[in-house]
Amino acid sequence: MNLFKKIVVVMGLVCGLTGPSLNAEQPNVLLIFCDDLNDYVEGFDGHPQSKTPNMKRLSQTGVTFTQAHCNIPICGPSRASCFTGIYPHHSGCYGFDRWNTYEVLNNSRTLMEHFRANGYYTLGTGKLMHHLVRKQWDEFGNQSDYGPFAFDGTDRVAHPDVPAPFRDIGQIDGSFGPLIDFNERTFQNGKTYSWLTGSWNEIRPLTVGMGDASSMTADEKNGHWAVKRLQELASEKQDQPFFMGVGFIRPHTPLIVPQRFFDQFPLDSITLPVIQPGDIDDTHARTVRGLPAGKEPNSERTADMGTRLFQDLVASYDSQDEALRRFIQAYLASVASVDEQIGKILDTLDRTGLRDNTIVILTSDHGWGMGEKDYLYKNSLWQESTRIPLIIRSPGTSQAGAFSTQPVSLIDLYPTLIDLCELTGETVKNDRGHEIDGHSLKPLLQNPQLGEWTGGDAALTALYKWRLQYDPLAESYSLRSHDWRYIRYENGKEELYQTQQDPYEWTNLADAPEQAPRIKRFRQQLASRLPQTTTPPPQPKKQLKPKPQKSPPVVKNAEYWKNQHFRKHPEADTDGDGKLNWPEFKAHKAKLEMQNSGKDK
């Protein structure tokens, strides 16, 4: 054990953070979290052209849950629920306020805290919780980084190959395309571009094709960090088990990854999702979408991100088919890029011998719709958005290559790890906290089809909508059982789908007279799982209207100063082509320096 880890363990014992003893036989845990990853993964039948050999390799050595779902289909509250094991309707965390400002969550142990309390060394990197609280970890690598971003010398913009109006959505959600070398391209708008990446607090230039650390994307940096730390942990004496979290950002937008991943998916060969025209017509999601109360949207486009993304994407190309092919190509390429990093991590576990005593979990915070029901986004209560990949390999417990069709959800990961790692102690800090809500998946790891599952027959998902205050009884929810999906929106409108006969959820049966008894049973089931009072959980300490994220500071590199010079001195463009090249810049700058030198004399 290195000196730093010894200090952590001693401090933990003194402060009462660790369990009664450290057991080297307890399994290590590696939790791999991908952002916005839907079922476009081999083995999940999401897209026939997905290329994820390493995720498939993990599936062949563990148990794959084919009906795993998130508990709220948007980043912040989904991760808060997963890492605390507490449903939004018990914590009040349906939105994007910092998770630790919610009284219930702040007074309950996170997954990382509970592992530390049981003697584990906790380390992580990348996007895990939506808001990083470093004291939750013994060691943390890299902060969340949504880059790469194209930089036009003044602003971060969408990939220059993306046409309007989609590109006008912005440098994150309106951007996709290959990570190309801008020095090898000339653009019709006459602009020159460079790449930036980094966290909100620290931005850095990103070079392309240099073969060094400066050319690493965020996911490559996090993959490299994980491999390096696993090698180091394996070389040390294993007198303390570890819990490691690795958070990859892709396939979250912007869907920008190296060209070689795009090359795996030729554009003209992309298979489109199965979409039924008019599928949106018998649904009710549009009746609850919109801006906060008192600020009615001017149109549906402005009211809902998923609708706007779909409409603007289609409007940017000659046809809906072309638009979806381009976006899906970028999504598949992004998934393939993450799979490569996962492969390097799995290889490291194999080479170092850590595999034999390390539980590996691969999952995502929610799915993503690809134009089904005229929707291109997360945050819906339909299958495309709630379903997530979930693969668990637990040496000595899980069956290799097995599949479970039992509907489960992210809320079940916390109790599963408690069970597998034999963690002890309370997960609540005091009476203002809340017990974890999920159920251990261990019986399904041991017997995927016949295990005695105690978690009920339906996965529960809530819907995010920005509010000043949340009332659990007045939110929108979905229940996904083996054969059915039931949705109840905040306004009381309902949807019901027979998922075995109607896997694409095309036909809403909620108003069918013969389904009245089933609808009644689902209403009762949902009511039994929600609080019996209309009193909302305590709200965040500071419940303010969300403010737009501040852009990172502009990197004032040579290209920036050249462009600033051009803005101030347009006459420097001697050939009149509308842009300032380096010879023109240097010549004009020298001319000004000579003139100023003459004035000084």
Under the banding of pLDDT at 50, 70 and 90, the label for residue 539 is confident
* Same-domain status, 353 and 394: yes
- The number of domains in the chain is 2
Is 539 contained in some domain? no
In a domain, 72, yes or no: yes
Closest CA to 392 of 83, 29, 43, 26: 29
Residue 593 has a pLDDT of 57
Same domain, 494 and 572: no
525 with 568, same domain: the answer is: no
Separation between Cα atoms, residue 139 and residue 587, nearest integer Å: 51
Residue 551 resides in a domain: no
- Whether 3 has a pLDDT exceeding 60, the answer reads no
Q: Is 238 exposed, middle or buried (0-12, 13-18, 19+ CB in 10 A)?
A: middle
User: What distance in Å separates the CA atoms of residue 338 and residue 334, rounded to the nearest whole number?
Assistant: 6
pLDDT of residue 326 exceeding 60? yes
Name the token pair of 450.
Answer: 């016949």
Instruction: Determine whether 315 is exposed, middle or buried from the number of CB atoms within 10 Å of its CB (0-12, 13-18, 19+).
Output: middle
Closest CA to 33 of 345, 417, 348, 362: 362
Q: What is the mean pLDDT of residues 529-539?
A: 80
Its pTM stands at 0.85
110 assigned to some structural domain: yes
pLDDT tens digits, one per residue of 546-601: 444 444 444 445 665 667 676 677 677 666 666 677 666 666 666 665 555 444 43
* Structure confidence by residue, pLDDT tens digits, 81-94: 999 999 999 999 99
Considering the domain architecture, whether residues 153 and 266 belong to the same structural domain is answered as yes
Residue 280 shares a structural domain with residue 140: yes
Query: If DSSP codes are grouped into helix, strand and coil, which group holds residue 184?
Result: helix
Residue 130 CA, chain-centre distance (Å), reads 9
Per-residue pLDDT tens digits for 477-509: 999 999 999 999 999 999 999 999 999 999 999
Of 529, 553, 581, the last residue of a domain is 529
State whether 587 and 521 are in the same domain: no
CATH code assigned at 228: 3.40.720.10
Domain enclosing residue 579, as ranges: 562-600
- 99 lies in the same domain as 23: yes
Question: In the block, which residue shows the tokens 């992210």?
Answer: 410
Mean pLDDT across 424-452: 96
595 in any annotated domain: yes
Mark whether 79 and 128 lie in a shared domain.
Answer: yes
pLDDT, tens digit, 9 for 90 and up, residues 118-155: 999 999 999 999 999 999 999 999 999 999 999 999 99
Same domain flag for 458 and 586: no
Question: What is the mean pLDDT of the segment spanning 40-61?
Answer: 97
Kindly indicate the confidence band of residue 543, based on its pLDDT and cuts at 50, 70 and 90: very low
Domain end residue (candidates: 529, 547, 570): 529
Residues 423, 285 share a domain:
yes
Peptide bond into 165 cis (omega under 30): yes
Give the chain's radius of gyration (CA, Å).
26
pLDDT tens, residue by residue, 212-225 = 666 899 999 999 99
- Type of residue at 65: F
Structure tokens at 474: 């007045």
Assess contact for 155 and 165: CB atoms under 8 A. no
Residue 546 lies in a domain: no
The token pair that represents 419 in the structure block? 């069970």
- Distance between CA 148 and CA 198 in Å, rounded? 8
The pLDDT score that the predictor gives to residue 597 is 45
In the chain, the largest separation of any two C-alpha atoms, in whole Å, equals: 97
Give the DSSP letter of residue 403. Answer: E
**Same domain, yes or no, for 522 and 395?**
yes
DSSP E strands in 338-476: the ranges are 358-364, 387-388, 390-393, 402-404, 408-409, 459-462
Residue 501 shares a structural domain with residue 571: no
Query: Is the residue at 542 inside a domain?
Result: no
Within a domain: residue 499? yes
